[in-house]
Amino acid sequence: MLVLLPMFLVNLVIIFLIAMLIRWLFPLPKDKPLQKQDFERVLKDHDMPAQIAEILLSVSGNEAIARLQNKGNIALLRRLGDSFAVRVIDETQLKSSQQKDETTRISIPDFTWPDFKLNAEQAKQIATWLPTQKGQTHA
């Protein structure tokens, strides 16, 4: 039994080194930034009859946000590998906060949907989409 343990550990290290070598020789391709056409296609694939009024892409290019023509609805899109996740929310659920690097962080109360960043110009557009409540600012 004691003889097998070192052999197992050596094999484990060899497998790890081979995996690292393969990763170094064949790096994963970078995903191209999300395009507005991707967003429209994904919404149609999810049988969302709402028409898109405006689309904004995030700073990273992996997320997008759209104001739908039916009043009060906003659609969020996120790239997950080769597929996409879509969530349609009410505009009151959207939260924004100014960051130090001149970007605005957009989030929703659901912890399962990660935050994303928009540039300052896009944040001003988002602020026009959202209803302002007494004592509340969005950008």
What is the rounded average pLDDT for all residues in the chain?
80
pLDDT digits (tens, 9 = 90+) for 85-122: 888 888 888 887 777 777 888 888 888 888 888 888 88
Taking a C-beta distance cutoff of 8 angstroms, is the pair 53, 66 a contact? yes
Q: Where are the domains of the chain?
A: 36-129
Return d(Cα 24, Cα 29) in angstroms, integer.
12
Return d(Cα 29, Cα 121) in angstroms, integer.
30
* Own/partner long-range contacts of 97-103 (Cβ < 8 Å, ≥24 apart): 98/123, 98/139, 103/59
- Tell me what percent of the residues of the chain surpass a pLDDT of 90: 9
Whether CATH 1.10.3470 fits 36-129: no
